[in-house]
Structure 1
Amino acid sequence: MRNLLIFCYFLLFFIGLSCKETKKEDINITTDDIEVSDNLQAVTKKSKSILFFGDSLTAGLGLDIEDAFPAIIQRKIDSLGLSYQVINAGLSGETTAGGKNRIDWVLKQDVDIFVLELGANDGLRGVPLSETRNNLQAIIDFVRQKNPEVKIILTGMQIPPNLGVEYTTEFKKIFPELAAKNKLELIPFLLENVAGIPDLNQADGIHPTKEGHKILAKNTWEVLKDVI
């Protein structure tokens, strides 16, 4: 009788296992489950990170996020089998002052490469040049204080001559001068071969189209590839 009971227990145990395996196959996987799984896999697989900190150009205003140039960079990195995770911290309308105020919130963890793309909105609004320069320097200082080993890439920017030749010329100088002073890598002009070309910009004439962002990614990769 005792042997019969033991046999019954084992039989029930194996039936239970079989049921569990069948139920696992019948579980409906939701989109949320997939996103969480993808995020966990990304954290596991990507040992280093690249943070793009910028304005609407980085955010990809008017486009799907996967069409913005940081996402294109991620696909390029993945195609090469490199272990980097791209983080898009772009915020439409952001100025250097706004960036300085939110940098502490963004850098809650160390990043390996920091791409600083701010200043265009300052120029379009006529913000005093000294203020733009000081804000960018403050962001650079904060990032390095947070992680002295971080590699910083500064994206150069230019603006139309609406505010006069002197302002426009001095604005353009801010970026290479800061790059030289702080020993940063510099993308000379992020919008090279895009700015002023109607077919590569949206109706506002300022924000690149999907094709325009491919060129922004190319301009960025020319510098980034040597850093990573």
Structure 2
Amino acid sequence: MTAPAEVRVLLVDDQELVRSGLRRILRRKDGFVIAGECSDGAEVPTAVREHDPDVVLMDLRMKEVDGIAATRALRAHAANPPVLVLTTFDDDELLSGALRAGAAGFLLKDSPAEELIRAVHTVAAGGSCLDPAVTGRVLRTYRTATPARDGRGVDGLTAREVEVLALIGRGHTNGEIARHLGISEVTVKSHVGHIFVKLDLRDRAAAIVHAFDHGIVAPS
């Protein structure tokens, strides 16, 4: 059996002490390689080009270019690796801003190491991860600050697509959804694409908000 590929992580935080702690948690034995490090968001585009990370672990508050601006800039980058925001601030405006900028999720820095490891693997596999400690509040802020969609709910979705949307809302990756539903990952990707088009959703974070808004899943 082929060993799973290592996840290449780019650390972005203006505190060396924090980056050192993250290096100790995201070890090779758990499937990680620290591809590079940045001390400010301004360094991120160049670092992504040079190191080709699978996940960018992004701080929010930095001196020159903050994590939201850096995340937004990556959306125009050819590789566009997923961003997992890691912050000490349970600031609803900041975290919802990170989602609007295109982050795949967020985690508070006081989360257990095991939760960080799981979150980085999830995001690397194409899933989303929202810290349950603040998810409900952040989603309320997100939907308040984001222009309303056309209110289609789940109208137009097939029963299978509703199942897939519910699993996206719970943070599952395409691979996990495929195993849960007993279908191929290619089929899951097709369903996800149809959901995004039918509901006019930009990304998985928007799909999670939609699932919460329409009662398909509820904040834990």
TM-score bracket for the superposition, by shorter chain length: 0.3 to 0.5
Q: TM-score, normalised by structure 2?
A: 0.42
Please state which structure has a larger fraction of its residues in helix.
Answer: 1
* Structure of greater relative contact order (alpha carbons < 8 Å, 6+ residues apart): 1
Pair member with larger Rg? 1
